[in-house]
Structure 1
Amino acid sequence: MVFRLGELFCGPGGLAYGATHAIIPKRPDLRIEHAWANDYDDATCKTYRHNICKDDASMSVYCGDVRKLDISLENPLFKDHPFNAFAFGFPCNDFSVVGEQKGFDGTFGPLYTYGVKVLKLFQPEWFLAENVSGLSSANKGGAFPRIMKDLHDAGYNIFPHLYKFEEYGVPQARHRIIIIGIRKDFPFIFYPPAPITPDIKDYKTSREALENPPIAPDAPNNELPCMTKTVVERLKYIKPGQNAFNADLPAHLQLNIKGARISQIYRRLDPDKPSYTVTGSGGGGTHIYHYSENRALTNRERARLQTFPDDFEFKGTREKVRRQIGMAVPCDGARQIFEAVLKTFARIPYKHIDKCNIKFNNE
């Protein structure tokens, strides 16, 4: 049973890496392979090609705006790369609680409909969709039910669940809604895989992620960031786990910001806890700061927090790489969910949660 995966909004390959590395012991016939992918950013597509489908000789990665993608049976992208599984981490910018939460009224909110179009036209056997936890409250709570209904009406029973990835061995507090859809002609019910680290004392810490094993000196994307003297001096006063607003800073190093005081500004990691959420954008003070060294993390260190292996090489400028890492799904968290999908279709029992924590009526 081989599933060939098509992807919209593929990013650098967090979902794809997790999918293609999903392993069922003693069942090598159960696997997921890359079919085709799409993203609008050139550097991101280069990263995906380099790590997921080396050199992309068959032109399986379409780099361009999804709004200009010909989603039809005649498009060579789909004709030459048949697929029976689908993933799309539709853009979260307009659903994130960190942003303005414009939802459907924003530029990115309606883009999920292109995923729905793929589902309606090609009817893959299953799909995985991913978005931020803020999706459930966007448009005054109206966005999420509408998206769920559209996915259901495309021909799928859907199983939405809010995953806390720190409970799945990921060294980062990252909470995301993952929706598994199974075509209605299949008799399967999907159950979220059980957490492997449900107890807070077992969470993988940022120290474990960054130091065990040590990052090799020649690891890609590990260039030290440029730090100003003022930032270095400010960090000397900020203890692990603190930020620029709850640390005891001298007057000349305090930030003169009115209104909301964002807790991530110049926030150091706590070495004994998972990292806070790795993000892909933001100005000064939002780059995640080392717990013992007076500097921001390297991109390689951020990638470790997202469970990318050290030989996963990101392409593009340092800032573009930062964005790719922050927008990705943690590879290892994705792998566990894809393995549960494979076991569901193969009727292989696995440890699971008895029901999804987000309600939806599939009738």
Structure 2
Amino acid sequence: MIFEKGELFCGPGGLSLGALKAKVTGKNGELFAVKHKWASDYDPAAVETYRENICKPNNYDPKTVFQKDVRELKIDELEPINAFAFGFPCNDYSLVGEKKGINGEFGPLYSYGVKVLASKEPQWFIAENVSGLESANEGQAFQQILNDLENAGPGYMLTPHLYKFEEYGVPQTRRRIIIVGIRKNLNLQFKVPAPTHGPGNFVTAKQALEGEPIPEDAPNQEPTRHHQRVIDMLSFIPPGENAWSEKIPPALRLNVKGARMSQIYRRLKEDAPSYTVTGSGGGGTHIYHYRDLRALTNRERARLQTFPDKYDFKGGKEAVRKQIGMAVPPDGAKVIIEAILKTFAGIEYDSVPSKWSVNSQEKSNSELELAMQEIAAASEK
């Protein structure tokens, strides 16, 4: 069975690359796979990247990728699909910033995913957002989003989970909420795939960056130019520590008052996964090498996100950094989508319980509220 996927907020195509790599052979030899149907994003550089790396190698029409604000997209006129993905904008749900949640400019944009579900009635969907989503607006935003997704169109059985991508072979401690929904009338229940990695076999930053040399002609490999003062400061910061290290001489320390972000000039540890790759932030937030006195290149950041070296991100250096930092790691997406395909193929796989259930037929509203409180408490630990 080949699923034709539509996608909103597609970014540079991390989730789509993972979807294209996910293939399952059913019990009778039938192939279960995903192909691109259409995608949309407002960022012109990300759209160009998607067309270059997802459409071009697979002979998909680049005109099926729309560069448009989702609020201007005519959803009812989009081609039919039976699979859907959307990593709705996380700006208002992030744990940093103003945290406006569902009341912010970007918070309500998930509703366009709900409109796609109502209009196209795909057999399954996958939605992605930052871990801060569950605590936004004191948990009410997350509850509303789950309720709206469950009741969209024909109705969906939801399996939301807080995935730790380092537990699935991604060389980065990246935590994201992934919501998988399967149409209720199909009577299929998705299960969270069991982690494949843990302490002792995590993929480390060194393995990701040095396992194979980066080809000399690889794109997005431009170095960052540092002031000598930054280089001098980095020379005193041990791997794993940041700009607040006590080993930095007073003359080289940053003059910062108030909150001190832990990722400022933080150097990687070579024997552990990277800290989270981000797509925004000023000086000191670019991720710093464990051995060399420098920030990583965009190509190296892309390796931490599990993009192949040939994946050519379009746009200027900062536009590329933004795309890489906001993308879904393809290898992580592949694991989850393979589990979806196995669910449809009737193939058992190792799984772990989701930490909470949200389908109305399984939980009353009071139980749902209790679950939300448990999630919020766990995230603070």
TM-score normalised by length of structure 2: 0.91
Question: 1:62 is matched with which residue?
Answer: 66
- Aligned twin of 2:51: 49
Deviations 1:221-274 (A, max 9, x none): 111111111111111111100100124111221111111111100000010110
CA distance in 1, matches of 2:176, 2:226: 32
Deviates more, 1:224-233 or 1:123-132: 224-233
The 3-state SS of whatever aligns with 1:6 is strand
Q: Take 1:156 and 1:342, find their aligned partners in 2: how far apart are those partners?
A: 16
* Aligned match for 2:86, one of 85, 88, 91: 88
2:146 matched to 1:144?
no
Counterparts of 1:276 and 1:335 in 2: how far apart (Å)? 21
Rate the CA distance shift 1:58–1:213 in 2: closer, same or farther, 3 A.
closer
Contact 1:237 1:247 in 2 (8 A): no
Matched residue, 1:324: 323
Alpha-carbon distance, 1:71 to partner:
1.4
Counterpart residue number, 2:369: none
CA separation in 2, counterparts of 1:121 and 1:68? 16
- Name the CA distance, whole Å, in 2 between partners of 1:41 and 1:61: 11
Contact 1:158 1:362 in 2 (8 A): no
Mapped contact 1:239–1:247 kept (Cα < 8 A): no
Task: Indicate if the aligned counterparts of 2:4 and 2:83 stay in contact, CA closer than 8 A.
Answer: yes
Q: Are 1:193 and 2:197 an aligned pair?
A: no
Counterpart-to-counterpart distance in 1, 2:202 and 2:226:
30
Alpha-carbon distance, 1:102 to partner: 0.5
Question: Where does residue 103 of structure 2 map in the other structure?
Answer: 105
Q: How much has 1:287 moved relative to structure 2?
A: 0.3
- Counterpart residue number, 2:36: 34
In the alignment, which residue of structure 1 is the partner of 2:249? 250
Residue 52 of structure 2 aligns to a residue whose secondary structure is: helix
Is contact 1:165–1:333 with CA below 8 Å preserved after alignment?
Answer: yes
User: What residue in structure 2 maps to residue 276 of structure 1?
Assistant: 275
Equivalences for residues 120-199 of structure 1 within 5 A: 120-154=118-152, 155-197=155-197, 199=198
CA separation of 1:8/1:357 partners in 2, compared to 1, >3 Å: closer, same or farther? same
* More moved, 216-225 vs 11-20: 216-225
Secondary structure (helix, strand or coil) at the match of 2:37 reads: strand
- Measured in 2, the distance between the counterparts of 1:4 and 1:132 equals 26
Residue pair 2:150, 2:359 contacting (<8 A) in 1 also: no
Count, aligned residues? 355
Alpha-carbon contact 1:172-1:275 (below 8 Å) kept: yes
Which residue number in structure 2 is paired with residue 15 of structure 1? 15
TM-score by length of 1: 0.96
> Does the aligned pair in 2 maintain the 1:158–1:181 contact within 8 Å?
yes
Aligned equivalent of 1:214: 213
5+ residue gaps in structure 1?
A: none
Question: In the TM superposition, what whole-angstrom CA distance separates every residue of 1:185-216 from its partner, at most 9, and x where no partner exists?
Answer: 1111110111111x211111000000001111
Distance 1:252 1:217 in 2: 38
Letter of the structure 1 residue corresponding to residue 135 of structure 2: S
Matches of 1:92 and 1:59 in 2, distance apart?
Answer: 26
Cα drift, residue 292 of structure 1: 0.4
Q: Distance in 1 between matches of 2:307 and 2:178?
A: 19
